[in-house]
Amino acid sequence: MADLLLHSYWRATAPYRVRIGLCLKGLAFDYAPVNLLKNEQGAAPYRDSYNRQALVPSLTADGQVLTQSLAILEWLDETHPQPPLLPGSPRDRAIVRAMAEIVACDIHPLNNLRVLKALAELGHAQGGEDQQAWGRRWITDGFTALEPMVAEHGRGFAFGDTPTLADCALIPQIWSSSRFAVDMGPFPALAAVAARAADHPAFQAAHPDRQPDKPAA
Protein backbone atom coordinates (compact mmCIF):
# COMPACT_ATOMS: atom_id res chain seq x y z
CA MET A 1 0.00 0.00 0.00
CA ALA A 2 1.25 3.49 -0.84
CA ASP A 3 2.63 5.67 1.93
CA LEU A 4 0.09 8.52 2.03
CA LEU A 5 0.52 12.04 3.45
CA LEU A 6 -2.39 14.49 3.27
CA HIS A 7 -1.81 18.22 3.67
CA SER A 8 -5.08 19.53 5.00
CA TYR A 9 -6.81 22.15 7.09
CA TRP A 10 -9.57 20.91 9.38
CA ARG A 11 -12.40 23.09 8.11
CA ALA A 12 -11.37 23.50 4.47
CA THR A 13 -13.76 21.68 2.19
CA ALA A 14 -11.39 20.63 -0.63
CA PRO A 15 -9.21 18.49 1.68
CA TYR A 16 -12.40 17.27 3.41
CA ARG A 17 -13.40 15.77 0.03
CA VAL A 18 -10.14 13.85 -0.12
CA ARG A 19 -10.43 12.70 3.49
CA ILE A 20 -13.83 11.23 2.68
CA GLY A 21 -12.36 9.37 -0.30
CA LEU A 22 -9.44 8.02 1.74
CA CYS A 23 -11.77 6.91 4.53
CA LEU A 24 -14.22 5.28 2.09
CA LYS A 25 -11.30 3.30 0.66
CA GLY A 26 -10.20 2.35 4.16
CA LEU A 27 -6.73 3.83 3.59
CA ALA A 28 -4.55 4.98 6.48
CA PHE A 29 -2.79 8.30 5.92
CA ASP A 30 -0.59 10.74 7.76
CA TYR A 31 -2.08 14.18 8.38
CA ALA A 32 -0.03 17.36 7.94
CA PRO A 33 -1.92 20.48 9.03
CA VAL A 34 -1.61 23.65 6.98
CA ASN A 35 -3.06 26.58 8.90
CA LEU A 36 -4.91 28.75 6.38
CA LEU A 37 -5.49 31.47 8.95
CA LYS A 38 -1.71 31.86 9.30
CA ASN A 39 -1.30 31.74 5.50
CA GLU A 40 0.90 28.65 5.74
CA GLN A 41 -0.50 27.62 2.34
CA GLY A 42 1.19 30.64 0.78
CA ALA A 43 4.60 30.18 2.39
CA ALA A 44 7.58 27.90 1.98
CA PRO A 45 7.91 24.99 2.36
CA TYR A 46 4.27 24.14 1.60
CA ARG A 47 3.79 26.25 -1.50
CA ASP A 48 7.11 25.34 -3.05
CA SER A 49 7.08 21.64 -2.26
CA TYR A 50 3.41 20.61 -2.16
CA ASN A 51 1.08 22.97 -4.00
CA ARG A 52 2.26 25.73 -6.33
CA GLN A 53 -1.25 27.23 -6.24
CA ALA A 54 -0.89 27.76 -2.48
CA LEU A 55 -4.05 25.76 -1.82
CA VAL A 56 -4.89 22.67 0.20
CA PRO A 57 -5.10 19.75 -0.28
CA SER A 58 -2.08 17.96 -1.56
CA LEU A 59 -1.65 14.23 -1.27
CA THR A 60 1.82 12.75 -1.33
CA ALA A 61 1.81 9.11 -2.36
CA ASP A 62 5.15 7.31 -2.22
CA GLY A 63 6.91 10.65 -2.65
CA GLN A 64 4.78 11.78 -5.60
CA VAL A 65 2.83 14.97 -4.89
CA LEU A 66 -0.72 15.20 -6.23
CA THR A 67 -2.96 18.28 -6.16
CA GLN A 68 -6.56 19.21 -7.02
CA SER A 69 -9.07 17.31 -4.91
CA LEU A 70 -11.11 15.81 -7.76
CA ALA A 71 -7.95 14.66 -9.57
CA ILE A 72 -6.72 13.12 -6.31
CA LEU A 73 -10.04 11.33 -5.80
CA GLU A 74 -9.98 9.95 -9.35
CA TRP A 75 -6.38 8.79 -8.81
CA LEU A 76 -7.46 7.10 -5.58
CA ASP A 77 -10.28 5.36 -7.39
CA GLU A 78 -8.00 4.12 -10.15
CA THR A 79 -5.31 2.87 -7.78
CA HIS A 80 -7.69 1.49 -5.13
CA PRO A 81 -10.80 0.45 -7.08
CA GLN A 82 -12.81 -0.92 -4.14
CA PRO A 83 -15.28 0.38 -3.18
CA PRO A 84 -15.72 2.37 -6.41
CA LEU A 85 -16.32 6.13 -6.29
CA LEU A 86 -17.71 6.15 -9.83
CA PRO A 87 -20.56 4.07 -11.26
CA GLY A 88 -20.21 1.52 -14.06
CA SER A 89 -21.56 3.19 -17.18
CA PRO A 90 -20.13 6.22 -19.01
CA ARG A 91 -23.48 8.02 -18.73
CA ASP A 92 -23.69 7.47 -14.99
CA ARG A 93 -20.06 8.51 -14.49
CA ALA A 94 -20.77 11.73 -16.39
CA ILE A 95 -23.72 12.48 -14.09
CA VAL A 96 -21.68 11.84 -10.94
CA ARG A 97 -18.79 13.97 -12.24
CA ALA A 98 -21.26 16.74 -13.15
CA MET A 99 -22.61 16.73 -9.58
CA ALA A 100 -19.09 16.91 -8.14
CA GLU A 101 -18.09 19.67 -10.55
CA ILE A 102 -21.11 21.82 -9.70
CA VAL A 103 -19.64 21.96 -6.20
CA ALA A 104 -15.93 22.00 -7.00
CA CYS A 105 -15.96 24.23 -10.09
CA ASP A 106 -19.04 26.42 -9.76
CA ILE A 107 -19.78 26.86 -6.04
CA HIS A 108 -16.64 26.51 -3.98
CA PRO A 109 -14.21 28.71 -5.97
CA LEU A 110 -16.50 31.70 -5.44
CA ASN A 111 -16.46 31.25 -1.66
CA ASN A 112 -12.83 30.32 -1.22
CA LEU A 113 -10.70 32.18 1.29
CA ARG A 114 -8.61 34.01 -1.32
CA VAL A 115 -11.79 35.24 -3.04
CA LEU A 116 -13.23 36.41 0.28
CA LYS A 117 -9.94 38.21 0.99
CA ALA A 118 -10.14 39.87 -2.44
CA LEU A 119 -13.71 40.98 -1.71
CA ALA A 120 -12.50 42.43 1.59
CA GLU A 121 -9.85 44.42 -0.31
CA LEU A 122 -12.72 45.87 -2.37
CA GLY A 123 -14.46 47.01 0.80
CA HIS A 124 -16.74 44.07 1.62
CA ALA A 125 -15.62 43.15 5.13
CA GLN A 126 -14.57 39.59 5.82
CA GLY A 127 -17.44 37.80 7.55
CA GLY A 128 -19.72 40.81 6.99
CA GLU A 129 -23.24 40.76 5.54
CA ASP A 130 -22.04 41.40 1.95
CA GLN A 131 -19.81 38.37 2.06
CA GLN A 132 -22.53 36.27 3.67
CA ALA A 133 -24.96 37.23 0.90
CA TRP A 134 -22.30 36.54 -1.74
CA GLY A 135 -21.63 33.04 -0.37
CA ARG A 136 -25.32 32.25 0.02
CA ARG A 137 -26.05 33.35 -3.53
CA TRP A 138 -23.61 30.96 -5.22
CA ILE A 139 -24.26 28.06 -2.88
CA THR A 140 -28.00 28.44 -3.37
CA ASP A 141 -27.56 28.62 -7.16
CA GLY A 142 -25.54 25.42 -7.18
CA PHE A 143 -27.80 23.58 -4.76
CA THR A 144 -30.83 24.60 -6.84
CA ALA A 145 -29.28 22.77 -9.80
CA LEU A 146 -28.16 19.81 -7.71
CA GLU A 147 -31.46 19.22 -5.89
CA PRO A 148 -33.41 17.77 -8.88
CA MET A 149 -30.37 15.77 -10.02
CA VAL A 150 -30.05 14.13 -6.60
CA ALA A 151 -33.83 13.68 -6.32
CA GLU A 152 -33.76 11.83 -9.65
CA HIS A 153 -30.61 9.74 -9.25
CA GLY A 154 -30.11 9.42 -5.50
CA ARG A 155 -31.15 6.36 -3.55
CA GLY A 156 -29.79 7.42 -0.18
CA PHE A 157 -26.58 8.95 -1.50
CA ALA A 158 -26.32 11.58 -4.25
CA PHE A 159 -26.21 8.94 -6.98
CA GLY A 160 -27.51 5.49 -6.12
CA ASP A 161 -27.29 3.79 -2.75
CA THR A 162 -23.53 3.91 -2.18
CA PRO A 163 -21.20 6.90 -1.79
CA THR A 164 -19.60 8.33 -4.93
CA LEU A 165 -17.38 11.21 -5.95
CA ALA A 166 -20.54 13.34 -5.86
CA ASP A 167 -20.94 12.76 -2.11
CA CYS A 168 -17.24 13.47 -1.52
CA ALA A 169 -17.86 16.96 -2.94
CA LEU A 170 -21.40 17.55 -1.73
CA ILE A 171 -21.12 16.68 1.96
CA PRO A 172 -18.32 19.18 2.72
CA GLN A 173 -20.19 21.88 0.79
CA ILE A 174 -23.39 21.26 2.77
CA TRP A 175 -21.36 21.34 6.00
CA SER A 176 -19.77 24.68 5.16
CA SER A 177 -23.06 26.20 3.96
CA SER A 178 -24.11 26.88 7.53
CA ARG A 179 -21.27 29.47 7.70
CA PHE A 180 -23.21 31.40 5.06
CA ALA A 181 -26.60 30.78 6.71
CA VAL A 182 -27.92 28.89 3.68
CA ASP A 183 -31.54 27.79 4.11
CA MET A 184 -31.60 24.04 3.37
CA GLY A 185 -35.43 24.01 3.39
CA PRO A 186 -35.68 24.11 -0.43
CA PHE A 187 -33.19 21.25 -0.72
CA PRO A 188 -34.75 18.18 0.94
CA ALA A 189 -32.95 15.66 -1.29
CA LEU A 190 -29.56 17.20 -0.45
CA ALA A 191 -30.42 17.34 3.25
CA ALA A 192 -31.43 13.66 3.17
CA VAL A 193 -28.05 12.73 1.69
CA ALA A 194 -26.31 14.71 4.44
CA ALA A 195 -28.34 12.86 7.08
CA ARG A 196 -27.47 9.51 5.52
CA ALA A 197 -23.76 10.39 5.33
CA ALA A 198 -23.77 11.47 8.98
CA ASP A 199 -24.39 7.81 9.91
CA HIS A 200 -21.59 6.47 7.71
CA PRO A 201 -18.28 5.72 9.48
CA ALA A 202 -16.09 7.05 6.64
CA PHE A 203 -17.92 10.39 6.57
CA GLN A 204 -17.74 10.52 10.36
CA ALA A 205 -13.97 9.94 10.38
CA ALA A 206 -13.44 12.60 7.70
CA HIS A 207 -15.56 15.23 9.48
CA PRO A 208 -13.82 18.53 10.43
CA ASP A 209 -14.64 18.00 14.10
CA ARG A 210 -12.52 14.83 14.10
CA GLN A 211 -9.34 16.37 12.65
CA PRO A 212 -6.21 16.80 14.78
CA ASP A 213 -5.79 20.49 13.89
CA LYS A 214 -9.29 21.50 14.99
CA PRO A 215 -8.66 24.04 17.76
CA ALA A 216 -9.85 23.11 21.23
CA ALA A 217 -13.13 24.91 22.01
Residues that bind ligand GSH (CB under 6 A): 12-14, 36, 41, 55-57, 68-70, 104, 112-114
Nearer to ligand GSH, 57 or 163 (CB): 57
Nearer to ligand GSH, 113 or 189 (CB): 113
Nearer to ligand GSH, 112 or 162 (CB): 112
- Minimum gap (Å) between residue 79 Cβ and ligand GSH: 18
- Minimum gap (Å) between residue 139 Cβ and ligand GSH: 14
- Minimum gap (Å) between residue 69 Cβ and ligand GSH: 3
- Minimum gap (Å) between residue 154 Cβ and ligand GSH: 23
- Minimum gap (Å) between residue 168 Cβ and ligand GSH: 11
Nearer to ligand GSH, 100 or 196 (CB): 100
Nearer to ligand GSH, 24 or 55 (CB): 55
- Determine contact, residues 55/68, Cβ cutoff 8 Å: no
